[in-house]
Chain A
Amino acid sequence: MTGHLELDGRDVRELGTVGVGERVGVVFQDPSTQLVMERVEDDVAFGLENRGWAVDAMHERVPEVLATVSLVGQERARSRRLSGGQQQRLALAGALAPRPGLLVLDEPTANLDPAGAADLMTTLASIRAERSATVLLIEHRVEEAWQLADAVLALDASGRPIDVGPPDEVAARSVRRLRAAGVWLPAALEPKHRPGPLRGLPDPDRGAGATVVRADAVRYGYDRARPVVRDVTLNARAGERIALVGPNGSGKSTLARLLVGLLRPDHGRVELLGADPARLPPADLARRAGYVFQEPERQFLAQRVKDEVSLGLTAEERARVEPLMDRMGLPLEQFGERSPYRLSGGEQRRLSLACILVRRPAVLVLDEPTFGQDRRGYESLLRILREHLEGGACLIAATHDARFVNDVASRIVELDEGWVAPAAIPA
């Protein structure tokens, strides 16, 4: 590290980890790596205990912070039982409790459904109104964040600043450069008629295209007494683009795994191109369907990027690897030798997609495909998906990304606590 970084007028190298920790509260992306204690109020108190707060002061401060993040009444709840949005607000409470001068939030809404993200942003707005701490928010979803900001710092892909200043000034000065660098902008700053990359595709109306996936009254529960997917009936035809939407925990990921035979239903049946996918030999299954996991790290099976993307491919498929990786922004000469775990979140997402897209399966099931993507990654993904769909593939994507749903879906299926919600109007 070169240059000079001061916190409260003191050099950070002088302050050390402890000194910085006393002044800064941090909230990370994934709530499950931030909650230490089993219960809500104990978790809020954890940071205070570590800093040696007096017992009375702690018992005064904990309810105060829980009120700030709207978790009153949940004091004794188990943190793992909270929704993703509540967990993230709890993590925020833990960071806020010791009254840090600086609060850093690293993509805090990335794992949240739209309602959870909106609640978190509302809480941030109220913290901003109090002006009790400087808030540094790192975000891809800028719609709400842009309005809350006093200053915007935009970085390009290599970490160099593009512009810094009050949002209006940055918008006036650099909107073109921001677009060119692939930075997401609030809707008001987007070009009025953005070409929808999938707009030209024929809308597969009902009856056209053969049915490739058939789910009939499918029920599944990790604990049989508590099903997370309940009696779902869903048919998908070749060429269809189905968006599975619904809050965290509504059963989207579980349904997605049932459709490609990674889970076997407790009741009902699934057919994938006429066969039960849970009984297909793996090689046969991989030809018919591809599945991209919500968390890329949980699907990586090799030590190097080039081994990961070539795993189990035929010679013909192998020939597609290089051009695909180039288009995904992960050229093999640059990334091939690297460990999949050492990539950024957005790069990991693109690698996990490449592993599946390279096979061109007839049915593509993607779990949060646009996670952590800047505009450039998003648009190249859409171009690749388009080619694939033109070839008659069927796409089923579980997603929170309203933009993706709007750009891609020909049909929206909403899940709520494992049930299919009444049909929505096609996009």
Chain B
Amino acid sequence: MATTTATITITSTDLLTDELSLSTSAVLTAAGNSTGITNTSGLARKTTGNTTEYTLLDASAYTDDAAHKIYLKNVSTTPAQYFEVQIAEVVVGKLYAGDWAFFPWSADTTELTNCDITITPQAADMTLEYMLFAD
């Protein structure tokens, strides 16, 4: 069993009058138990050639309703460049230059729409770094 630990830290000295220093750690485990996640896509990069929508992760290739985790990062350094991220054809949000996200993914295929993760780059030549931790 592998042990993989994710830690998030959010800090600011001037967002609020009280200093913000939030930190949480999680050991990535399989659904409903304490067995560590054992599968990963590895850290990967996708460079886009145009501004069309790309399917980054196809839900049908993964176990339905499992404890998958997704890491995404827009490695662009141009502030206006973003990736629009969709799950199940719903826009989740935009990752601007340097932004990253980490969230669970159910890879659900039993609802009305497959829970595919897709990205749409704002510009033609952009690179997204991503990693899947699969249950």
**A and B together in one complex:** no
B residues with a Cβ closer than 8 A to A are none
